[in-house]
Amino acid sequence: MSPSPLLQKITAVASATVLGVTFLAGATSAAQAEPAVHDGKTLETAAASCWEIKQNYPNSPSGAYWLAPPNSKSVPGKFYCDQETDGGGWLMIGRGREDWNRSLTGKGDANKIWQSPSGKDAFTTAQLSAEKINELTGKDPNYVNDIRVVRSLNDQGNYTQELRGTISTRNNWIWALPDARAWRSATMTESSGWSAPTTQTNPRTTTKDSKGFDRAYRSFTPIYSGVNGPGYGYAYGIDVKEGSADSHIWLSKGKRTMPFTQMYLRPKLTSPVKPEARKDVPKSLTMPMLWRTSEQTATGVVSEMHSYVQAITQVSDTVFVGGDYKNLVSAKGEVVEQPYLSGYNVNTGDLVRTFMPKFNGQIKAVEALPSGKLVVGGEFTEVNGKPISNLVVLNPATGEVEDLGWKVENRGTSGIAQVRSLDVQGNYLYVGGNFTHTTGATSQYAVYAKNAVRFDLTNNSVDKNWKPVFNGTVSGISAAEDGQSVFAAGYFSELGGKKAFKLASINTTDGAMYKPWEWKQSIVLGGGGWQLDVQDAGNTVWAGGTEHFIHAYDKNNNYARTSSAITKRGGDFQDLHKAGNIMYGACHCGDQVFDGAYTYFGAESQARNSTYGIKLVGAWDITTGKYIPDFAPNLKGASGNGVWESFVDSRGNLWVGGDINQSLGVNGPQKTVGFARFEAQN
């Protein structure tokens, strides 16, 4: 792939004496981070607890806030915080009148808790799961067991009773709460001015037990549905006989009165102090979705080799997104029947409606040409109704075909040809894939070029002198900026009859081997595995593939390995993209990356102090070779096939595409099908 448009843009500005050059040139170095603001008002400023918000911002009112407790495995979420009672910092973990659930799963839609914390809309019970409560309390016994319960005392709910106490010494939450008499400690207080109805037994004259409980309002008794028809609730004593179905207190079938109840805990967790954040990687939350692809492929095939998006690049002010998708859908629900390839304005994200080319097969690669045109590769035999095989040049504004007579075909046994990778360096277009013959603009005769070829862009001819011969598909190709070599990755084991195991270094004169590239696999597989992409990075060259391996090599030291990382629970690397001093690695990985590890078995011990989370794409510092945890996106896919393409546009925004159907965005989870965008920090 060619350098990122952002890098080209920075270089162009730096070459001119313009105010601001120093800032742009320093955009790829670590910058001092602004102090973290954990006010809970946005997803980006989520706090560890309601308590932390109140301590940092004493005037914070009660309401919904974003919380992200330390060491939580799940994404941040919104929760209701009582910031007024007794110094604030109270987290509501459930509310409702009857039909509470005693199991660990909780009850109902957790979002209803913060959306409707009180009032008649809150009568239908909603409870956080025990797993979520354990995350929000850090499983600290001091926070799990100290509970606050608020119950309505009258029909209108304007008088309440508070029960506070310590349940036990456990460090995990359970919803099977015992009668308050069994708590380690418990106290009850009622709203000022409240008195029991004259029709009821007054709790202050009722005989109390040694802990101050009675048979009326000073009773906290979890009642099962077998006793009280509607379900489990926190009932008053048997002497309370009032309430109706539409009131804050409810008496069913003349048995026990169940009041509207709110439950709170007060975990006092604080956000960890983070090191200075880097500014040369994008923000971790996706930008708002404006357009997405369909959740169906245009070919009808469902597999990792038919992911929704597999190719992204930019020409002028348009970012092009290609793959195997049936149509496009806007955030407003508009459906545009444009399969396989589409363009978006880099400044606004809007669909470019003048660019609507018609293909009959999926797109595997796109690249910008020096002429300002767009070259497209993939598995197709027809473009705009014309017979064109696997490689075509388009007008980026109109989608019209630039007829150069290019043709890529497979005259082997299968007869199936495809273009998998494109890269431009100087006046040459390098093409990798699965094919045997190519035709250029200057001759009607095809040239034998097995799985890799280059076109001379000065006359659009096939370069007959550069003819590497691979015995397997080339899935990634990258030409070095110094013009000395070209790198290939794929399913091959030989180059020109010489050993070249999945990775190869090719000269730029005749396509023969430039230097032997001996490298060690992370695990020796029976079938040999594969490498899916390769990327030149100046003094180093990076590769990615099986088994869950991203690795870099010193070009000036016989390709000695300089850095590597292993992912687990899924994780083959499928795409590499260089932008400035950052190498983005995309994979079908959704758990952990062991930075510095070099073998699949033993990765944990090799990366004992450098293990991080990863969700389908990560960033590495090219100079140090180290993983950059500051960029921590959260992406999910439908089939587990991961991200197959990453690209940084001229604004510094990162685009990723593949088997994606959801991401964590600036406004919360969103349906980013096919591709997602991450905004640049600068």
Joined together, the tokens standing for residue 527 give 């079938």
Q: DSSP readout, 368-397?
A: E-TTS-EEEEES-SEETTEE--SEEEE-TT
Phi, psi dihedrals of residue 54, rounded to the nearest 5°: -65, -35
How many residues comprise the chain? 682
Neighbours of 8 (CB within 10 A): 14
Angle at 550 between CA 545 and CA 553, to 5 degrees: 110
pTM of the complete model: 0.76
pLDDT category, 33, cuts 50, 70, 90? very low
Q: Average pLDDT in the 70-75 region?
A: 77
**Beta strand spans in 269-308 (E):** 291-293
Q: What is the DSSP letter of 502?
A: S
DSSP state of 98: B
Give residue 84's region: left, alpha or beta (phi > 0; psi -120 to 50): alpha
Cα separation, 96 vs 456, in Å, equals 72
Mean pLDDT in residue range 496-509:
97
pLDDT at 146: 85
CA distance 595 to 589: 14
Strand partners, 504: 488
> Does 591 or 18 have the greater pLDDT score?
591
Distance between terminal CA atoms of the chain?
24
User: Over 70: is that where the pLDDT of 494 sits?
Assistant: yes
Q: Is the pLDDT of residue 348 over 90?
A: yes
Per-residue pLDDT tens digits for 620-650 = 999 999 999 999 999 999 999 999 999 999 9
pLDDT band (50, 70, 90) for residue 283: very high
- Two tokens at 124? 């239908």
d(CA 365, CA 420): 6
Is there a contact between 594 and 620 (Cβ–Cβ < 8 Å)?
no
Alpha-carbon distance 79 to 98, whole Å?
21
CB 622 within 8 A of CB 582: yes
Q: pLDDT tens digit string along 180-195?
A: 777 888 889 999 988 8
Mention every residue, 6+ apart, whose C-beta is less than 8 A from residue 63: 80, 81, 83
DSSP for 615-676, written as a single string: SSEEEEETTT--B-TT----EE-SSS--EEEEEE-TTS-EEEEES--EEEETTEEE---SEE
Mean pLDDT of the chain: 89
Structure tokens at 174: 């359970």
pLDDT tens digit string along 522-558?
987 665 789 999 999 999 999 999 999 999 999 999 9
3-state helix, strand, coil in the chain (%, to 5): 10, 35, 55
pLDDT digits (tens, 9 = 90+) for 413-470: 889 999 999 999 999 999 999 999 999 999 999 999 999 999 999 999 999 999 999 9
Residue 211 has pLDDT above 90, yes or no: no
Helices (H), 316-456: none
Mean pLDDT in residue range 229-242? 77
DSSP bridge partners of 531: 545
Greater confidence (517 vs 210) lies with 517
405 φ, ψ (degrees, to nearest 5): 75, 15
Degrees to nearest 5, angle at CA 430 with 514 and 321: 135
Nearest to 92 by CA among 264, 229, 241: 264
Say which CATH class 50-265 falls into. alpha beta
Cα 681 to the chain's mean position, in Å? 17
- Cα distance between residue 428 and residue 392, in whole Å: 15
The whole-angstrom distance between residue 201's C-alpha and the CA centroid of its chain comes to 58
CB-CB contact of 460 with 433 (8 Å): no
Helices (H) and strands (E) in the chain, counts: 7, 52
Residue 595 has pLDDT above 90, yes or no: yes
pLDDT digits (tens, 9 = 90+) for 297-313: 999 999 999 999 999 99
Residues forming beta bridges with residue 264, ordered by sequence position: 92, 148
What is the 8-class DSSP label of residue 28?
A: G
Instruction: For 403, list phi and psi in degrees, rounded to 5.
Output: -75, 100
Token output for 495: 């180059």
Per-residue pLDDT at 204 exceeds 80: no
Instruction: Map out the domains of the chain as residue ranges.
Output: 50-265, 417-517
